[in-house]
Amino acid sequence: MKRSLSFLLGVFISSIVDLTKATPCTVEDTKLSGECKFMTDCPVLFAEYQKYRKMPTICDPRYRTVCCPLEITTTTTTTTQSTKRISERKCHEYGQHIFETKLVPNPVFGELPVEKRINHCAHNVVELIVGGEEAREGEFPHMALIGYSEGKPDDYQCGGSLISEEFILSAAHCSSTSKGVAKFAKLGNIKRYQNTSNSWTYIIEKRILNPNYSSRVAEDDIVLFKLNEVVKLNRFVIPICLPTTDVLTTRKAIASGWGREGFASDVSEVLMKVIIEYFSQETCNRIYSDDSKLTQNGINFDKMICAGSTNKTGDTCDGDSGKKPINKFSMNLTQTYSNVSGGPLQIFRDDVECMYTIVGITSFGSVYCGLIGIPAIYTKVFYYLDWIESIVWPSQ
């Protein structure tokens, strides 16, 4: 019988397996000694599967347990447990909401119902299409739409990311617009104007701007919106993980927002995603050298990320009718960057099932080009981690 990952992750008949008594086993290829565990309880095997599609040694097909190597798991769990930052611990905790536990009839006649643990991960494992495509329901469960005090609640001008049960991370320039101050946050939906049984509009109670932010310059474009109630988490509403290291493990990241393909200034009804690459400091500084919102030193790469799609350069900017032709090296850049402002730039996590890390916040770019061809500037979240943690989890 050919086994797939969904076989191992999809269903757990947990109540009839006593995992308090560890069953010893041997990992087939490495010959390391191990213990039989559920796949989700063995981060090492999980990461290997995600990276290399490596199938684990099966312990007992009836209980879907796998042989988890002993040495590696014990060292990683004991050494990191005590030193983990609060954002790291919360990331693991929030990741549990991908799973749903249901009671189902016991396959053994006459026995009590058993618990089934269902994995609702909506990620696309395959490489994303360059140029943007529609997101799936539940694929970016941290995405928020931000509405304003002088408009209707669904007069959205910006995006944001849920980072805890009470806080949304966004761009400081999204804190107030011509439509008033940020007042509403809709969560749990990929459609802009549709309300579903999973979506809910919360009231923003407080806007906490980074104290160094000034609307005159592009730096420190970061804000925390505190909601007036605790958000109920489920598989459609899950906070995104914060970055606890500065290491960019990939050269690519995924931007998501309610912008048209490539995130030009038009608005899309459905949430879009696009894969983009980091630009070199040199290229980015050359492109943005004339921008009045930047200080004389150009872009501060400690605090900012410069990223865009390199593959379709020109396509969106030069050719399309109705769009202004742009001279690549002297563009008009603006922070009222359509409705994708404030939204996340994210990467997959390989240590927590189905979760992302937010590396950037969409800050500014060209209104005409969107993300294709011309790199946009993102606030680098890692730089602000201490500030974020001190507000979101003050007692930790």
Ligand X SMILES: *[C@@H]1O[C@H](CO)[C@@H](O)[C@H](O)[C@H]1NC(C)=O
Q: Which residues bind ligand X (CB under 6 A)?
A: 130, 152-154, 157, 193, 195, 201, 210-212, 252, 267, 275, 277, 309, 311, 332, 334, 336, 338-339, 387
Residue 80's φ and ψ, nearest 5 degrees, are -95, -25
Q: Closest CB to ligand X among 92 and 252?
A: 252
Q: Closest CB to ligand X among 154 and 165?
A: 154
**Structure-token match 């269903």, residue found:** 11
Q: To the nearest whole angstrom, how small is the minimum distance from the Cβ of residue 208 to ligand X? A: 10
Q: Which long-range contacts (CB under 8 A, 24 or more apart) does 204-211 make?
A: 204/146, 204/168, 204/228, 207/175, 207/176, 207/181, 207/182, 208/391, 209/172, 209/175, 210/172, 210/384, 210/387
Contact predicate 161/146, CB 8 Å: no
The candidate with the shortest Cα–Cα distance to 307, out of 349, 269, 362, is 362
Q: To the nearest whole angstrom, how small is the minimum distance from the Cβ of residue 251 to ligand X? A: 9
Q: Closest CB to ligand X among 214 and 332?
A: 332
Q: Closest CB to ligand X among 95 and 308?
A: 308
Residue 98's φ and ψ, nearest 5 degrees, are -70, -25
Q: To the nearest whole angstrom, how small is the minimum distance from the Cβ of residue 210 to ligand X? A: 5
**What is d(CA 61, CA 134) in angstroms, rounded to the nearest whole number?**
37
Q: Closest CB to ligand X among 43 and 370?
A: 370
Q: To the nearest whole angstrom, how small is the minimum distance from the Cβ of residue 81 to ligand X? A: 29
Q: To the nearest whole angstrom, how small is the minimum distance from the Cβ of residue 230 to ligand X? A: 18
Dig out the tokens for 220 from the structure.
């420190």
Q: How far apart are the first and last CA of the chain?
A: 48
**What is d(CA 92, CA 95) in angstroms, rounded to the nearest whole number?**
5
Q: To the nearest whole angstrom, how small is the minimum distance from the Cβ of residue 48 to ligand X? A: 23
Q: Closest CB to ligand X among 57 and 175?
A: 175
